[in-house]
Structure 1
């Protein structure tokens, strides 16, 4: 799913992201709005994982959406 599609469906996806990453705040998701790099940074910050792991989680989430 590309960034434009993600931005268009952001409100629906935000709920799914809250289920996956419950430590993310509504403000985190509002600011991220389709920006995978920002989202990965917040996952890294909130969950204390390495940058590569956070990026992998976000990438996997995006891939799961496409299915």
Structure 2
């Protein structure tokens, strides 16, 4: 993930109020876990989630 993850988390939480801090836990090398959690929570495809994260 590029940039400051804390800023990106804030943007996501503003845009999607249903996301919690636990949903947005990111550890280096575990991006697939994050994408999977966001897919489940937001009901979007993997492609949509990856685009959303890249556009932050």
Smaller-chain TM-score bracket: 0.5 to 0.7
The DSSP-based 3-state class of the residue aligned with 1:63 is helix
Q: Tell me, which stretches of 5 or more residues in structure 2 are unaligned?
A: none
Runs of 4+ aligned structure 1 residues displaced above 4 Å come to none
TM-score (norm 1): 0.56
Q: Tell me, which stretches of 5 or more residues in structure 1 are unaligned?
A: none
Provide the alpha-carbon RMSD of the alignment: 2.4
Work out whether residues 28 and 42 of structure 1, in 8 Å CA contact, stay in contact via their aligned partners in 2: yes
Residue of 21, 24, 42 corresponding to 2:19: 24
Larger Rg computed on CA atoms: 1
Change (3 A) 1:22 1:33: farther
**What is the CA distance between 1:18 and its match in structure 2?**
0.9
Q: Does 1:62 align with 2:56?
A: no
User: How many residues were matched structurally?
Assistant: 55
Higher helix share: 1
TM-score (norm 2): 0.62
